[in-house]
C-alpha cells in the first residue's frame, strides 16, 4: 500500500483490542517502521523492487525488525518515556514490559506485512521464497482483479479507522464509569 495512514486503522484497532498484552504505541509505530524501507527506496532509488531492500516486508525479517524495535523502545529510556507519555495522553494503561514491547513490535510489523501482501504483488511475505502466495491466492486463485482487491483493502482500512475510533470511545466511557464508581464508593 502506498505510504499512507491506512495502516493506522487496523493497527490502532488491533492495538486497542489487545492492549492488555501489547504495548499500543509500539504496536502502532511498528506499522510505520516497515515503511521506512519504502521511503529509503524512494530516496535512494536503487532499482530494486520497492519492498525488498531490507526485506522488512517479510515475516522473517519483519519479525527481526519488530523485535529489535520493541526492545529498543524498552531499553532506551527516552523512547520508553515517550511511549509512556503517549499512553497517558490517550488515557490507556501502559504495558512497558520487554515482552509486551517486543511482541507488539513483531505483531505490528506482521500486520503491516499481511495487509501489504494482499495489496502489493512484490511483497515477498515468505522470503526467502520469492513469490507472494497471498497476492497470488487472492488474485489468481480466487480470480479477483488486483485493482478490485486493492480497493477492498483501502476500504477495509478505512472501516478499521472507524472501528478504532468507536472502540476507543467505548474504552474511554467504560474507564470514566469505573472511575466514577470508585469515587462514589470512597465517598
Selection from 45-54, 131-140, 161-170 with the highest mean pLDDT: 161-170
Q: Which of 43-47, 56-60, 112-116, 154-158 shows the lowest per-residue confidence on average (mean pLDDT)?
A: 43-47
Q: What is the pLDDT of residue 187?
A: 66
Q: What residue segments make up the domains of the chain, in order of their start?
A: 5-181
Nearest 5 degrees, angle CA 33-CA 38-CA 67?
A: 25
Residue 62 · residue 109 · CB < 8 Å: yes
pLDDT reported for residue 76: 94
Cell 479507522 found at: 161
Average pLDDT over residues 40-62: 79
Q: What is the mean pLDDT of residues 107-122?
A: 93
Beta carbons within 10 angstroms of residue 187's beta carbon: 5
Please, are residues 75 and 128 in contact by the beta-carbon 8 Å criterion? no
SS3 category, 58: coil
Residue 37 predicted with pLDDT over 90 = no
What pLDDT, on a 0 to 100 scale, did the predictor assign at position 4? 64
Instruction: Identify whether the C-beta of residue 95 lies closer than 8 Å to the C-beta of residue 119.
Output: no
Among 17, 41, 39, smallest CA distance to 27 is for: 17
Percent of the chain topping pLDDT 90: 55
pLDDT band with cut points at 50, 70 and 90 for residue 54: confident
| Nearest-5° Cα angle at 162, 57 to 167 | 95
Summarize pLDDT for 6-20 with one digit per residue, the tens. 888 999 999 999 999
User: In the structure grid, which three cell numbers stand for residue 45, read together?
Assistant: 532509488
Per-position b or e across 25-45, b if 16+ CB within 10 A of its CB = bbbbbbbbbbbebbeebeeee
Mean pLDDT on 32-58:
78
The answer to whether the CB of 41 falls within 8 A of the CB of 53 is: yes
Where would I find the H helices in 76-145? 77-90, 98-119, 133-136
Amino acid at each position: 500500500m502506498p505510504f499512507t495512514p491506512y495502516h493506522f486503522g487496523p493497527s490502532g484497532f488491533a492495538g486497542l483490542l489487545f492492549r492488555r498484552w501489547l504495548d499500543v504505541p509500539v504496536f502502532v509505530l511498528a506499522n510505520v517502521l516497515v515503511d521506512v524501507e519504502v521511503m529509503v527506496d524512494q530516496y535512494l532509488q536503487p532499482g530494486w523492487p520497492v519492498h525488498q531492500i531490507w526485506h522488512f516486508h517479510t515475516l522473517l525479517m519483519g519479525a527481526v525488525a519488530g523485535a529489535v524495535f520493541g526492545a529498543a523502545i524498552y531499553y532506551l529510556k527516552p523512547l520508553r518515556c515517550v511511549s509512556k507519555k503517549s499512553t497517558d495522553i490517550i488515557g490507556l494503561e501502559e504495558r512497558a514490559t520487554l515482552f509486551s514491547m517486543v511482541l507488539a513490535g513483531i505483531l505490528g510489523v506482521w500486520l503491516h506485512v499481511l495487509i501489504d501482501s494482499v495489496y502489493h504483488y512484490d511483497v515477498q511475505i515468505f522470503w526467502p521464497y520469492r513469490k507472494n502466495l497471498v497476492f497470488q491466492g487472492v488474485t489468481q486463485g480466487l480470480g479477483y482483479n488486483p485493482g478490485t482487491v486493492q480497493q477492498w483493502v483501502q476500504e477495509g482500512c478505512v472501516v478499521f479507522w472507524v472501528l478504532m475510533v468507536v472502540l476507543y470511545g467505548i474504552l474511554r466511557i467504560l474507564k470514566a464509569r469505573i472511575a466514577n464508581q470508585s469515587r462514589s464508593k470512597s465517598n
